[in-house]
Amino acid sequence: MTEAELRKQERLIARKYADRFPWEVVVWGLGNLLIWLSLWPLVFLDILPLWIAFPIACVNVMACFLPAHEAVHGMIARPGQRLRWLNELVGHLSLLPMAMPYRIQKLTHFEHHKHVNHPQHDPDITTQSKGPWDAIWQSFVQRQRGKGGVLRGYGYILEKIGRSDVLVDGALYQLSFFAALFALAWNGYAIEAALLWWAPRHIGIAYIQFFFSWAPHHPAVKQGRYDNAKFFKSRVGNIASMGMQYHLIHHLHPFIPLTDTPKAFRELRPILEARGCRFEGDLR
């Protein structure tokens, strides 16, 4: 096929997966938050042992990011549509276990799409490392005091695009997070605070940065439309890897809901192969 034919065919296939109401995102985002919130009274009332609640809380933080990511792209409702309020509600609330402001996530993520893998302009470039274990280790190291990790990189990007006002959100979230931990510890719930929020947050952020940022972009050097990310076969499967096996579909057509990217990939594969996209492993 010619370039024009490839472009037309790709666009026609991609549009088939647009404009579907992703009910699963609403259930996922709000349901995950409710489960995490329910852990607190269940543990405080000795209904649920802390050793069971801890891994659940870790999963809650790991799972909280993608519904907000879908909201960033207006998957539930675009600006001006009737359910836009629900889109923004899911975006704001689903990130609470991560203590991450939705507005910061939205603005920095759009910059990521504009400048994928650019060493100065991609806010997620700091998640890139030599290998998988180093990526996980660096995720924790860069969150230590004095390190220039991804969250501090977000501040740099926001200032550069003239939205330093949104940094107030980050300050308020951090103050609220540590105030909550302090209040819980002061009242005799230090272990509960550590295992229901502090530790799950750190573990969850490392997980999210690994699968959402590092794995689909590594080695993060190419910046072309069809080679700035890759398709890869994850050892832990598609669900456990946040659906990121098909991440390049999202870069190419960000209006396709996450849960539809595998179907879109299978239909688009001949075109993607013709485009010279990167494939690692036997992905189907």
User: Taking the alpha carbons of 115, 119, 121, 123 in that order, is the dihedral positive or negative?
Assistant: positive
| Residue 181 lies inside a defined structural domain of this protein | yes
What pLDDT shows up at residue 147?
A: 54
**What angle (nearest 5°) sits at the alpha carbon of residue 62, between those of residues 185 and 78?**
115
pLDDT at 254 over 80: yes
Cα–Cα distances in Å, from 99 out to 44, 104, 112, 163? 21, 11, 20, 20
Domain housing 48: 19-221
pLDDT band for position 183 (cuts 50, 70, 90): very high
Does 239 map to a domain?
no
Q: For residue 144, tell me if it sits in a domain.
A: yes
258 inside domain: no
Query: Locate tokens 């180093």: which residue?
Result: 134
Give alpha helix (H) positions in 50-98.
50-72, 84-94
Average pLDDT, the chain: 93
pLDDT of residue 151: 56
pTM of the model: 0.93
List CB contacts of 145: < 8 A, sequence separation 6 or more. Answer: none
- Does 195 have pLDDT greater than 60? yes
d(CA 160, CA 154): 10
Q: What is the count of structural domains for the chain?
A: 1
pLDDT of 153 > 80? The answer is no
- Please tell me which residue, 131 or 193, carries the higher pLDDT value: 193
**272 sits in which H/E element:** helix 261-274
Both structure tokens of 53: 């609640």
- Is 80 exceeded by the pLDDT of residue 145? no
Question: Mean pLDDT, to the nearest integer, of 16-28?
Answer: 94
Distance spanning both ends of the chain, measured CA to CA: 23
The amino acid at 185: A
Residue 247 domain flag = no
Return contacts of 72-75, CB within 8 angstroms, 24+ apart. Answer: 72/102, 72/105, 72/106, 72/109, 72/110, 73/254, 73/255, 75/22, 75/25, 75/255, 75/257, 75/258
Residue 178's pLDDT is: 97
Peptide bond before residue 254 is cis, with ω within 30 degrees of 0: no
Query: pLDDT at position 144, please?
Result: 76
- Residues of the chain with pLDDT > 70, as a percent, come to 97
Give a yes or no: residue 8 inside a domain. no
Contacts of 124 (CB under 8 A, 6+ apart): 108, 112, 150, 153, 213, 217
pLDDT at 146: 59
**Any domain includes 249:** no
Do the domain assignments include residue 199? yes
**Total Cβ atoms within 10 A of residue 182:** 12
Token couple for 159 = 């200032």
